[in-house]
């Protein structure tokens, strides 16, 4: 990628891996990248949803690879990268979107749920970054975009998402640390972090274990959409080679904290 090349056109024909692609932000990201001419690998636990998305994208002639994996397990994460290397030769763009949250107080929390949040949101994300960097170093550069949360900047009091917030604070630290490591050796690989406020997806319903409580979160104003977050991804990916956009924070206009 030359200094003169900017915009999404430079990614045409390149390979993107989108984790957590079966719904929400990941699904929207995979669709957008395909529309920009990228070859896309989509990874998630729910095979039927991945197959449905692949059928939709392949109808337009897109080159799509589906990868069923549980990001709780390192060997499955490594299997995702092995398969992408086998089929596409490696990763040029990583959309590190797989994540989970459990709503509970610290006083009443479940250690198994805490471990799951840290395993997926921090450790699996870090393994993905490590493997992506290995690919990108051999391919002359690339872009990693980590999906965080506004909860990774401060602890959202009253929502009982403290451990989730802790995991996203850790992701911020790892992202910043990796950026520093790459910058120190003059690497062209870029690291970006997107931290949105409430996004209307299935995530809150799963975290709260209640559709009614998830819907209540959106009362009082229009929340962000998955497409809003994808626009931030496009902004990062479209920057010229010498420009690094390290972090973008998105809030609904109605958000008060």
Q: What is the pTM of this model?
A: 0.91
The Cα angle at residue 79 between residues 133 and 117, in degrees rounded to 5: 75
Tracing tokens 């995530």 back to the chain, one arrives at 203
Q: Is the dihedral of CA 65, 67, 71, 75 positive or negative?
A: negative
- Span 21-60, pLDDT tens digits: 999 999 999 999 999 999 999 999 999 999 999 999 988 8
Neighbouring C-beta atoms of residue 185, cutoff 10 Å: 8
| Residues with a known catalytic role | 164
pLDDT tens for each residue of 110-164 = 999 999 999 999 999 999 999 999 999 999 999 999 999 998 998 877 778 899 9
Specify the residue for token string 């229009």.
Answer: 222
Domains of the chain from N-terminus onward: 9-248 (3.40.50.720)
Neighbouring C-alpha atoms within 13 Å toward the C-beta of 213 = 11
Cα–Cα distance for residue pair 100/230, rounded to 1 Å: 19
pLDDT at 174: 97
């Amino acid at each position: 990628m030359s200094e003169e090349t900017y915009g999404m056109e430079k990614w045409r024909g390149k390979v993107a891996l989108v984790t957590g692609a079966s719904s929400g932000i990941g699904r929207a990201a995979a669709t957008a990248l395909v529309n920009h001419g990228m070859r896309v690998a989509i990874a998630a636990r729910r095979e039927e949803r991945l197959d449905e998305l692949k059928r939709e994208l392949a109808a337009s002639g897109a080159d799509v690879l589906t990868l069923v994996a549980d990001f709780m397990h390192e060997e499955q994460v490594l299997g995702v990268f092995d398969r992408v290397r086998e089929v596409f030769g490696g990763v040029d763009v990583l959309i590190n979107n797989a994540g989970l949250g459990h709503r509970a107080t610290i006083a009443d929390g479940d250690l198994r749920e805490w471990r799951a949040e840290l395993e997926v949101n921090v450790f699996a994300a870090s393994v993905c970054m490590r493997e992506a960097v290995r690919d990108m170093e051999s391919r002359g550069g690339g872009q990693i975009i980590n999906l965080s949360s506004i909860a990774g900047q401060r602890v959202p009091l009253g929502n009982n998402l403290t451990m989730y917030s802790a995991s996203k604070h850790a992701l911020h630290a790892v992202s910043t640390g990796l950026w520093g490591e790459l910058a120190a050796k003059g690497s062209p690989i870029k690291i970006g972090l997107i931290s949105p406020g409430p996004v209307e997806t299935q995530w809150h319903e799963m975290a709260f274990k209640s559709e009614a409580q998830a819907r209540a979160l959106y009362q009082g104003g229009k929340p962000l959409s998955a497409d809003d977050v994808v626009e931030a991804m496009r902004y990062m990916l479209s920057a010229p080679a010498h420009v690094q956009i390290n972090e973008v924070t998105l809030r609904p206009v109605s958000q008060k904290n």
